[in-house]
Structures are given as structure tokens and as C-alpha cells.
Amino acid sequence: MPATASGGARPEEAASPSASSSAAYWMGTRPEELMARLAAGRFGSGGGGGAGVGGGEDGEYERVRTLREIKNQIIGNRTKKLQYLHLGAVPAVVAALAEPAASPAALVQAAAAAGSFACGVDDGVRAVLAAGAVAHLTRLLAHPDDKVIDASARALRMIYQSKLAPKFDVNNEKNMEFLLTLLNRENENVTDVELQKQALSTNAVQKLSDHLLANSLESTRAVTILLALAELCSKLEESRSQLMSVQASTLILDALKHACADIRVAACSCLKNISRSSKVLSAGRLSCDTFIAPLIQLLNDSSTSVQVAALGAICNIAVNLTPRKSILLHSGAVSQLVHLSKSMDPTLRLKSVWALRNIMFLLNPKDKDFILKELTLSTLSSLICDSEHVVQEQTLALVHNLVDGYVDSVNYVIGEDGMVINAISRQLNNASSPGVCIQGMLVLANVAAGGELNKEAVMNIIVPRRAERIKPSFVVNFLQSKDKQLRVATLWSILNLIYPKCEASSARVARLQNAGVISQVKGMINDPCLDCKLRVRMVLEHCLDNADDGFM
């Protein structure tokens, strides 16, 4: 009975001592002997009878041993490679890749051997290609075992490093789409960065760009190539610079205006990842006239997918374009983003608020006022209470950037009958999600860093004066949270409420003590998070400074 994939993986660890020792005793390691066994497919249990193809677990175990021995002999040894090539080893090795019943362990050894045959020896490359290894190795990239995927990918890399490799196989649209899905896999044995470094070492960005230029955007594979370029530029600075240094940047601009929505989406994805580079932006390669203006025009696109993709690019451009954010402010982007923040589509609301948040970051007071007048406090309050938690979180992050470093902007939060701060209070009392709570507490921490009016506004949220009419303070629950970021943000809020030392601060310490907040802080003196532990000690020190006689 053929060995199963799982059964075939165990024998190396679970085979009995007698079976393995007897097999090691009589199995020869000369190339001729190993090839005879591999070609005959006689992987029995070590006895004379019953030996044949797929001889159970022991048979699969011997197959793995044979393939491993061949691989170990040829790695780095040109003479051995040529000897095995003369004996016809490659077809037998590739046959193991093609066998449905082969165990993951056998596939790993066969893939490694095939890759080694193709490394540095032209005759080896020819033999591997002639045996059909590329098709089998490509198929194995979808194998459920990560080790098989890793070995197959490495073997393909070795094959395609040779000029003899059939380049057209990779440029096949179907194969390219398949490889792109592999790049997007969440459970990889090799990290994204490692994969992209390997791609960079083979000049993949230049080759894909050349292919795009040679075939124009009318090619059916233009979308796939643009998405592949976007993926290759998602991690490495060198890949981004390489793409922007070739003529492909002009083609990407043309793609933003293409009639096909999928091509416009793919072009936006390229710009989204390219714009992660502050160097590219600071060099002026993504200027308003060339890329930003067309992206803003796409915010009015008839396709929601295009709008979402354009917003993703604008988000990245906004956060990295700090010295020249006036480009975005005077391009009509803000009004478009405000309009999309009111969309019925939650993704459009999320991305538009995210873009506004990034534009607001480190902005000067005059420009902050401009954005808020476009957005209005009413819309801001509505977005804080949006039906989607992710939208709430990004809106609170937007408010955080609004009040950060600009004292007068706090008036927007606590003024206008408390519209904004009351919305924040509702969300914190509902404790909807950790991200929302973290951003909400960061806003309160910034507000509490201001004057007495600001501190009192925050205090009335944390410990309302009519406490008997509401549930206990949510702050205690936040301090007990498993999320260290939430604990830190909450401690910052408390610290800003009781600093500096004054009569009003002493009164706030007493209120916090009565609400059980200070007792909870005392219990955090040995918090596992170093940042929390530091803030706890600072809070307790300021409590002592502000305390009346007999307190604590």
C-alpha cells in the first residue's frame, strides 16, 4: 500500500532501530548503487522479499535516504554532478517530484537535488529542464507543507539564475498570477522581505518594467505585472528607487488614466507602495503635477475599487510628504476626502478619514483650522460614533493629531457645547474595541496636558461628579487590560491630570482615589511592561506630592 503524506514523514524519527541499522548496513553509497536503487524504485524494508515500489513506510524511508545521499554528494561538487548526470540521475530525481504518493520528506530532498543539479553546471540545467522539473516544482509551490514549498522555491530560483532557463514560463500570465498569490500568502516559510530580496537579486523589477514597456498597457497581463511590481516595492527601498528610475514611472502615470478600472487600481497599488519611501517623495519624484493630481481625480472615479486604491496611495503620500503638505491642501484633496468620509461605503469612510489623519499629522495651526472648517465638528462627532470600530479608531487618531502640539485646537474638542468630547466619552464608556479605547485615551492625555479648564473637562469624563448615576469608572478596567498600549495611554491621562502640583491637582487625586483608580495604579507597581511600570511610579510620586496629610 502506498505511503501517505503524513505516514511517509514519520519514519525518519519513528523507524525501529533494527530496521534502520540493517538498512544502513547493506545500502551502498556509490553513485552506481544509489542510481540503481533510485531507478528501480526498490524501496523495501531491507529484506529480500516483498521489495517493490512504494513498499510502505520503510520503503519511503529508504527513498528519502537515497535522495538525501545523492543531494549531499553533489552539493558543491562539480565532478560528482557530472558523474550523476552521466548515469542519468536527473530523470529519476524528477520522477520523485511527480509521484503523487511521495512523502513531503522525499519531495524536499528531490527538490533540493534538482536545484543543486541546476546550480553552476549548464548540462545540469539542460537535464533538469528536459526532465520537466519546472512544471513539477511550480506545482509544488501550492503544496500544504511549508518545507516542500521552500525547497521548491529555492530550486526554481537556482534554475532561473541560468540563461538557459525558459523565461517565457514565468512571464506566462497564468503562472505570474499564481506566483503573485504566493507572495500574498499569510503563512510562509520564507518572509516577504527574503522573497523580495531574492527577486531583487534577479533584477525582477527591471525585467517586469521592460516587459510592461515592450507590450504597453493594452496587454492582457498589464494588470498582473503592475500588481507584481507593487508587491516587489512593498518592503525594499532599493526596489522602489529602481522602479522610479526607469521609464515605467511614466507608464504608471498613464495607467492612472487608463479606461480599464483594474489597471487604474493596479497603478494606484504601485504608487501606494512606492510612496512608502520618504526618499522618493523628498526627491520630488511624486510631484503634484505628475502623480498627486491624477490620484485626487480618481477620488471621483465611478469605480469604488479605484477610489479605495487611490485613497490608499494618498494615505501613504500624506504621511511621508510632511514638508510639502500644502500640495495636498491646495489641490482640492481635503474637500474630496471630507465628502468621501460621509459615504455609505465603510471602506471609503475608513480610508478617507485615515488620509485626513495623516494630513493632519504635524500640520501647522493654520492648516489644521482649514481642515477642521472643511470637516466640521458635527461630521467629526458623527465619525467618532460611526457604526464601524475601525472608522471610530481612525477618527480618534485624527482628533489626536489635531490637538497634538496645538493648544488652541483643544478648544475644538471641549468647546461647542462639548460635542466632540461627549462623543469621545460615549465611546470610552462603551469600551467598543481596544484600538478605539487607546486612541480615545491618547486624546484625553493630550487635552489633560493643557490648563485647568482642559483638565476639568477630562476629569469629568474619567470620574463624573454624579458618579452614583453611572457605572464605575472605565479607567479601572483600562488599567486592568491585557493591552499594554491601553494601560500606558490611560496612565498618561492620569499623570497629566495630577501634574503640576497645585490645589486643584490635589482635589483630582482625591477624586481618583475615591473612584478606585489610584488603588488600581498601586497594584501595577510590578507591571510586566517597563513603560507602564515607569508611568505607575511617576503617578504615585505625583500623588504623594499632591496629597494632604494622612493621604495614602
Selected residue with higher pLDDT from 18 and 525: 525
> What's the pLDDT at 182?
62
pLDDT value of position 170 = 52
pLDDT value for 466:
65
Contact indicator for 60, 54 with CB cutoff of 8 Å: yes
Identity of the highest mean pLDDT range in 86-90, 193-197, 346-350: 346-350
Q: Which of 161, 146, 180 is nearest to 115 (CA)?
A: 161
For residue 415, give every residue at least 6 positions away whose Cβ sits within 8 Å of its Cβ, in sequence order, or none: none
In the predicted model, what is the mean pLDDT of residues 535-539? 96
C-alpha 372/C-alpha 338 separation (Å) is 10
CA atoms of 257 and 313, how far apart (whole Å): 15
- In the prediction, which pLDDT does 106 show? 93
Average pLDDT of the chain, as a whole number: 83
Would you call 147 helix, strand, or coil by DSSP? helix
Cell of 245: 528610475
CB 516 within 8 A of CB 476: yes
Task: Tell me the pLDDT band of 288, cut-offs 50, 70 and 90.
Answer: low
- The residue among 408, 311, 395 whose CA lies nearest residue 368 is 408
| CATH architecture of the domain formed by 402-552 | Alpha Horseshoe (1.25)
pLDDT (0 to 100) of residue 169: 52
**Which pLDDT belongs to residue 198?**
59
- Does 402-552 match 1-165 at the fold level? yes
Please determine, for residue 527, whether its predicted confidence score (pLDDT) is greater than 60: yes
The pTM score is 0.69
Residue corresponding to grid cell 498582473: 224
Q: Check whether 403 has a pLDDT greater than 90.
A: yes
96 versus 465: which is more confidently predicted? 96
- pLDDT value of residue 56: 58
Question: If pLDDT is split at 50, 70 and 90, which confidence band does 473 have?
Answer: confident
pLDDT at 9 (0 to 100): 35
The pLDDT, as a whole number, for residue 1 is 38
pLDDT one-digit tens code per residue, 410-426: 988 998 788 999 999 99
Angle, helix 248-256 to helix 261-274, in steps of 10 degrees: 130
Contact 89, 38 (CB under 8 A): yes
Range of 4-13, 87-96, 527-536 with top mean pLDDT? 527-536
Residue 44, pLDDT score: 42
352, pLDDT greater than 90: yes
Q: Per-residue DSSP letters for 240-299?
A: HHHHHTSTHHHHHHHHHT-S-HHHHHHHHHHHHHHTT-HHHHHTTTT-IIIIIHHHHHGG
Of 245, 243, 250, the residue nearest 228 (C-alpha): 243
Top-confidence residue, 432 or 78: 78
| pLDDT at position 335 over 60 | yes
> What is the rounded CA–CA span in Å between residue 250 and residue 291?
10
Tens digits of per-residue pLDDT, 243-269? 876 577 788 999 999 999 999 999 999
- Low-confidence winner among 159-163, 194-198, 212-216, 375-379 (lowest mean pLDDT): 194-198
Residue 11: predicted pLDDT: 31
Could you tell me the residue ranges of all domains in the chain? 1-165, 167-286, 402-552
- For residue 203, the model assigns a pLDDT of 72
Of 288 and 87, which is predicted with more confidence?
A: 87
Domain spanning 1-165: CATH superfamily = Leucine-rich Repeat Variant (1.25.10.10)
For 22-59, how does the pLDDT look when each residue is reduced to its tens digit (9 = 90+)? 333 334 578 888 888 887 664 443 333 333 444 456 67
Given a cut of 60, is residue 408 above it in pLDDT? yes
Predicted local confidence at residue 114, as pLDDT: 95
Phi and psi of 513, rounded to 5°?
-65, -45
